[in-house]
Chains A and B, each alone.
Chain A
Amino acid sequence: MFSRTTATRIAATLGGVALLGATLVGCSSGASGTTTITLMAGGNDPAATKTAKDFAAGFEKANPTIKVKVDTRPGGTDGDNLVKTRLSTGSMDDVFLYNSGSLFQALHADTQLQPLTDEAWAKDVTDDFKKTVSTSKALYGAPVGTSFNGGIMYNKKVYAKLGLTVPTTWDQFISNSEKIKAAGITPVLVSYGDTWTSQLFVLADFANVSKQDPSWADNYTNNKAKYVNPPALAGFTHTQEIFAKGLMNKDYASLTNVNALKELATGKAAQYPMITAVIGNVVQSNPGQVNDIGYFAIPSDSGEPQATVWEPGGAYIPKTTTGDKLTAAKKLVAFLNSPAGCAIQNSAAVPAGPFAISTCKLPSDAPALVADEQKYQDAKQTGLALEFLSPIKGPNLEKILVQVGSGITDAKAGAALYDNDVKAQAQQLGIAGW
């Protein structure tokens, strides 16, 4: 009946699709003389996008024969899956910005990434950072951004008004909090509206755990150290204690990170267990009060609190980038920590701690809490976060801690639940002994 016309139509459609495909492929091969490479931003939020775009523009200015196209990706676990998928299908951008530490380890760097051990900038990188972007075979990443700390961000004006001093023991922290509560100010901000924020009493306490038991991280990786036992259990009991003693805000179940920071900046609340990397949000929302916010490490039982440090993310080049593109990509990676690159890092993002490479220097107008962090560095009272010392992090920690911090389960039960949760991760990574 209509088979002839249908056949023609189908042929035309298929032809059209093929043409379109050919056009798209044609686009990606660059014009002669210039090399075009792509750069994947560390997220799709305004700050990450702006940083990547500024890098591209600055680099093109310095290298007129190379064009850089910026690509964005989602943050969080969606981003993790996208990065892994792009790598495993051989379609990763020529340079991509991604986490260091355990997330980097999950990328199978030895088979997926170009080694950067012999690059000129490698000697300027701090040893701590090198560990977080290396395998036993090679170094794979250059630092992008500053390191930052986890601990308590506090409002200095509230502390001054109530005559409080920075606590070093957990008991002092609790007694400070009681006094703040008596003054009608929220003592400890809890913001389970963003569930990741529930983890700070545990994650930021890790330097204290390491101090007490330097081999804890290795034992944990080898299925020997557990969260149900001290010293690591402290993070869970602290989370529970804040709830049990009523030291947190009433809207803890729905408050978001950004709104919690506003309350901290304005002095409606006094203390917030957090990572200092979020100070950029305060620069956006309460620029006049950024320097009212200070930092101290999570108080410990011993009274010698250690600051837990997170290393910055890295810039990596996938194995699929070769030839001219590889040369150009390596130039771009080197540019990130050149004087021009450092200037871009300082202008596009708010520094939240010291840099991990000696070629970049903090600007004079860095937020006040950076100086507080530096004090711990100078006194050598720091330790890396667990995610840089062990590849194992259970996916449900934040949910488990929401349960503990909302009184649904107690600390011990929560810790046991988490010990079970990390098992799947260890097995997935093929670690012996699990």
Chain B
Amino acid sequence: MSTVNPSAAVQVTDIKPEIPPLKTKRHPIKSHYPTWFFIPVIALYVVFFAIPTFSSFYFSLTRWSLFDSKFIGFGNFVQFFQDPQLYTSFTHTLVYAVITSGAKVLIGFFLALLLTGPIVARGYLRALVFFPVLISTIGVGIMWKSLLDPFHGMVNAALGFFGLPQPGWFTDPNLALYSIAGVDIWKGVGIATVIFMAGFVAIPNEYFEAARIDGAGSWKILRQITIPLSKGATATVIILSLIGGLRSFDIIWVTTGGGPGFTSDVLASVIYKQYQAGFYGLSTAGNVVLFLLVTVIMVPVSYFLNRKTVEL
């Protein structure tokens, strides 16, 4: 454990963990480029982001059939909150976000510890962990759907071979949401691992050496040095995965479509189903609600996590 890793040492000198921000004096920001240079980007931004965003706020207040729209005030929001599926889907969304985010942090952290340590075939293992990130989510969903098919899937065939129970991963109402969360973790843990690895190698090696000279054990080093000094990475992983979990849709839609029944419905899939049904105003209102929800959860979380980083 205490052997100095030459490649890590090189990286430590290469990566500067804390670049002090340049002291900016209070004078107007001077651009390096002429103003007209920004016009195309601004035009694109206005046409494709600003106008749709603001018009969606308007359409969320209308009953909209694509052919015409009728202003109905907050009727859509009232109806959205009266949806009997809303509260279950809301709970599912939170459960799903917390499970996937928590698991990605934990598993990613320990995988990163393993993969920054001196182990055999490290490059290969790093590639292996990151590989699922490269596959399209839809592909991942279809692949796991066939692997976890209750009757013809490879996983249940293997379980059956050893005489173990063969659950209906995506078809059991009590299990579907957790199965999807598992697939999401499998797919997303690679990103978390890479972020943690970057955080770990940025910790100067001197700290570890000093701690060892002072007689600190591995556990103490982990708790007192690695965890506190990789807080920036932890914050990034939590924020990214929590946002991803709150608005996750694609993998749920491919594997269960929110089913069986409504047992794995999340906010995004409820909204999508409303859009499919042609309730354009209602689903736009749902998106505004989802936007507010993500903001309300993420702004304090992000503020809290980033404040901690600064204090260190």
Contact = CB atoms under 8 A, between A and B. Distances in A.
B84 interface: yes
A80 interface: yes
Given A254-B171, A403-B262, A428-B65, A78 B276 contact: yes
Nearest to A77: B276
A428 B65 CA distance: 7
Find the residue from B68, B79, B85, B278 having the highest chain A CB count within 10 A.
Answer: B278
A427 B274 CA distance: 13
B153 to A, nearest CB: 9
Given A81-B275, A84-B67, A428-B63, A253 B261 contact: no
A253 B171 contact: yes
A301 interface: no
B70 interface: yes
Given A3-B34, A84-B66, A427-B63, A399 B262 contact: yes
Interface in B110-156: 149-151
Interface stretch (A57-65, A261-269, A417-425): A417-425
Interface string B48-64: 00000000000000010
A241 to B, nearest CB: 18
B263 interface: yes
Interface residue tally on A, bucketed by range: 35 or more
B67 A80 contact: no
Contacts of A10: 40
Contacts of A427: 63, 79
Interface stretch (A104-112, A118-126, A376-384): A104-112
B277 A77 contact: yes
Contacts of A85: 66
A428 B69 CA distance: 10
A82 to B, nearest CB: 11
Contacts of A400: 261
A406 B150 CA distance: 15
A420 B86 CA distance: 13
B202 interface: no
A396 B273 contact: yes
Contacts of B70: 430
Contacts of B281: 428
Interface in B255-287: 257-263, 273-279, 281-282
A111 B67 CA distance: 9
B102 interface: no
Say whether chain A's binding surface is mostly helix, strand, loop, or mixed. helix
A395 B149 contact: no
B173 interface: yes
Contacts of A417: 84
Interface residues of B, number: 37
B42 to A, nearest CB: 14
B278 A106 contact: yes
A200 to B, nearest CB: 17
A253 B278 contact: no
B38 interface: no
B260 A403 contact: yes
> Which of B63, B84, B171, B281 has the most chain A CB atoms inside 10 A of its CB?
B171
Contacts of A430: 63, 70
Nearest to A106: B278
B260 A253 contact: yes
A111 B68 CA distance: 11
A77 B66 CA distance: 15
Nearest to B168: A253
Contacts of B66: 84-85, 87-88
B219 interface: no
Nearest to B39: A10
A254 B151 contact: yes
Given A10-B40, A254-B171, A395-B274, A424 B260 contact: no
Contacts of B40: 10
A195 interface: yes
A311 B65 CA distance: 25
Contacts of B279: 395, 424-425, 428
Interface string A382-414: 000000000000011001101100101100000
Interface string B165-183: 0001011110000000000
Contacts of B263: 408
A403 B228 CA distance: 48
A429 to B, nearest CB: 8
A308 B84 CA distance: 31
B37 A424 contact: no
Contact of B149 (A80, A254, A424): A254
A250 B65 CA distance: 42
A251 interface: yes
A192 interface: yes
Given A84-B67, A88-B67, A112-B67, A254 B275 contact: no
B261 A424 contact: no
A81 B278 contact: yes
Given A253-B171, A403-B260, A395 B150 contact: no
B258 A406 contact: no
Interface string A180-202: 00000000000010010000000
B278 A6 contact: no
Contacts of A78: 276
B65 A80 contact: no
10 contacts: A192-B171, A254-B150, A395-B274, A399-B259, A402-B259, A403-B262, A408-B260, A420-B84, A425-B277, A428-B65
Given A80-B276, A430-B70, 13 more contacts: A87-B67, A253-B168, A395-B274, A399-B259, A402-B260, A403-B262, A406-B173, A406-B261, A408-B261, A424-B277, A425-B277, A425-B279, A430-B63
Top 9 nearest A-B pairs by Cβ distance? A395-B277, A253-B171, A403-B261, A77-B276, A88-B66, A108-B67, A84-B66, A251-B151, A402-B261
Interface of B: 33-34, 37, 40, 63, 65-68, 70, 79, 84-85, 149-151, 168, 170-173, 257-263, 273-279, 281-282
Interface of A: 3, 6, 10, 77-78, 80-81, 84-85, 87-88, 106, 108, 111-112, 192, 195, 250-251, 253-254, 395-396, 399-400, 402-403, 406, 408-409, 417, 420, 424-425, 427-428, 430
